[in-house]
Structure 1
Amino acid sequence: MDFYDGLAPFYHLIYPDWNASIRRQGEQLSQLVASEWPGTRRVLDVACGIGTQALALAERGHAVTGADLSAGAIERAREEARLRGLAIDFRVADMREAHAAHGSGFDLLVACDNAVPHLLSDQDLLHAFRQFAACLKPGGGCLISVRDYEREARGTNLVKHYGARVENGKRHVLFQVWDFEGEHYDLGFFIVEEDLASAQVTTHVLRSRYYAVSTTRLCGLLREAGFDSVRRLDGVFYQPLLVGTKPAGASA
């Protein structure tokens, strides 16, 4: 996971105000969870990154386990939790082996920030979703946020701007460049770092690949993995949310 190891020191710059985003996402997710799965306590975030949702939910009283394949992201997440006085169990683990890594009995499983399209085939996605179901207690919820790829243009040299951020005497300009090949695209994440005192400029380029899978297909795979009440929710989070519930009669 060189991509996220390299991105970990800069990830918060994706947001104009990361701390405000943590608070806002915590409020939005907590309201949804209380409505969909009341009484939720134990949360497993299988793609926690530097901790945006894990921190948000822990701050609102949930017992959170956070996991990510990137050791660099987990190291930063642990430090962010320490700075906030939060007790979160962060681990390096692959979402495709979530049950083997974390066991079962969780009330809620979360995978936000367009994490699941890093899995590049329907087979990998279905395997991961079955692992997600195995982690949950009967009646437990699954909550995934993704890009709406059906609304995204296809092509090459597609530029996605994040803007400029000034922090600690440096200006960072962030943007992505996408190049599609069928239903997959290669992504270059460019971070241009300018020292405002010396005018010295350093450019970081991080590369990854995504599966531009539709939310319709993802919902179908969630149902195939055994989830009930699967649907897409719009207007409640910064990305479309996909939710599903493990049947109450399913084995733990």
Structure 2
Amino acid sequence: MNAKEHYANQLGNFYSWMLSDWKTKESEFREFLISKSLAPKKKNLAIDLGAGNGIQTLALSKLGYQVIAVDFNQQLLSELKENAKLENQSIQIVEADILSVSQFRLEHPSLLVCCGDTLLHLSSKEEIEEFLKSCFDCLNQNGDLLLSFRDYSITLEGDSRFIPVKSDSSRILTCILDFEGDRIRVTDQLLEKQNDVWKLSISSYFKVRLLKEECLVILETIGFQIEWVDFYQRMITILAKKK
């Protein structure tokens, strides 16, 4: 099962619950952008690739960007639309794979954002490289690409592969990681209480195991200038500029 199918059949149904308070996370991301001097000086265009339910999208919009939100999951985009309405933000929403970023080249974006583990949802390191090349071509001169992804440099084995993600009185979510060379099998195991009976649902998909150093080499080979590398909310975070 690929990432799109996994989100459609399993993860999209409880993704927002898993993330908890999206308003707090949106505010935190907005403050992070401000701290990194990424607030726009005018009504610049930002494209949120893998927008999900809108945490990054709404932060960008509130800072003053014109925003296009791109995601392949219709359910999460519907939630984003409702969240944007609740926050009185005007967002252009596009249901598409992030690999379609080249379609926005004539829009002249000054910022592309691909956060969460979205980058690792692609099928291979080769596809990641092609995607990053498309981002470079799409951006305005001196435009920025903001990436974040999890650090999978340490191979988890045995019991450490089982990661408790979230639980409450009616749901228990556990993530199981199996390291297989340059990819990781991610299994979401959800126990859900329905009419006092616990029901189990399981779904797996693969992520690319991309190391920070590998990503930096790819970006620099394409022509990006690395502005900074940080660790934000337990994720490797990189700002690369098109020079």
> Partners of 2:105 and 2:72 in 1: how far apart?
13
- Match for residue 64 of structure 1 among 62, 67, 87: 67
Question: 8 Å contact 2:120–2:208 — kept in the other structure?
Answer: yes
SS of equivalent to 1:8? helix
1:120 and 2:117 are equivalent in the alignment: no
- Which residue number in structure 2 is paired with residue 29 of structure 1? 33
1:86 aligns to what SS in structure 2? coil
Residue 230 of structure 1: how far off its partner (Å): 5.0
1:14-53 paired onto structure 2 within 5 Å: 14-34=18-38, 41-53=44-56
The one-letter code sitting in structure 1 at the alignment partner of 2:26 is I
Superposed counterparts of 1:136-215, under 5 Å? 136-153=139-156, 158-165=161-168, 171-195=170-194, 198-215=195-212
Equivalent residue number for residue 100 of structure 1 = 103
Moved more, 134-143 or 1-10: 1-10
CA change 1:180–1:142 in 2 (3 A) is same
Whole-Å separation in 1 of the counterparts to 2:112 and 2:89: 19
Task: Give 2:15's aligned residue.
Answer: 11
Relative to structure 1, is the Cα distance of residues 228 and 82 closer, same or farther in structure 2, using a 3 angstrom cutoff? same
| TM-score with structure 2 setting the length | 0.88
Does residue 242 in structure 1 map to residue 238 in structure 2? yes
Question: What is the match of residue 55 of structure 1?
Answer: 58
Q: Which deviations, in whole Å up to 9, do the C-alpha atoms of 1:150-169 show, x marking residues without a partner?
A: 14525688111112135xxx
Q: Does the aligned pair in 2 maintain the 1:49–1:77 contact within 8 Å?
A: yes
Partner of 2:99: helix, strand, or coil? helix
Q: 1:33 and 1:184 mapped to 2: Cα distance?
A: 34
RMSD of equivalent CA atoms = 2.3
Per the alignment, do residues 175 and 38 of structure 1 end up closer, same or farther by CA in structure 2, a change over 3 Å counting? farther
* One-letter amino acid matched to 2:230: L
Relative distance call for 1:87 and 1:212 in structure 2 (3 A) is same
Gaps of 5+ in 2: none
Q: Distance in 2 between matches of 1:208 and 1:182?
A: 15
Moved more, 107-116 or 237-246: 237-246
- For the residues of structure 2 that align with 1:84 and 1:206, how far apart are their CA atoms? 33
**Cα deviation digits, residues 81-118 of structure 1 (max 9, x gap):** 22322211111122222012564411110000011111
Secondary structure of the corresponding residue to residue 36 of structure 2: helix
After the TM superposition, which parts of structure 1 deviate over 4 Å for at least 4 consecutive aligned residues? 37-40, 154-157
The one-letter code matched in structure 2 to 1:243 is L
Counterpart residue identity of residue 73, structure 1 = L
Q: Tell me which amino acid in the other structure corresponds to 2:191.
A: V
State the distance in 1 between where 2:43 and 2:149 align: 22
SS in 2 for 1:109: strand
Contact 2:48 2:69 in 1 (8 A): yes
Aligned-residue offset at 1:20? 1.3
For 2:225, the equivalent position in structure 1 comes to 228
When the two structures are superposed, what TM-score results if normalisation uses the length of structure 1? 0.85
Cα distance change, pair 230–59 in 1 and its aligned pair in 2 (3 A): closer
Q: How many aligned residue pairs are there? A: 239
CA distance in 1, matches of 2:84, 2:202: 27
Question: 1-side partners of 2:108 and 2:142: how far apart?
Answer: 10
**Aligned counterparts of 1:76 and 1:146: Cα–Cα separation in 2:** 23
- The verdict on how the C-alpha distance between 1:129 and 1:51 changes in structure 2, with shifts beyond 3 A counting, is same
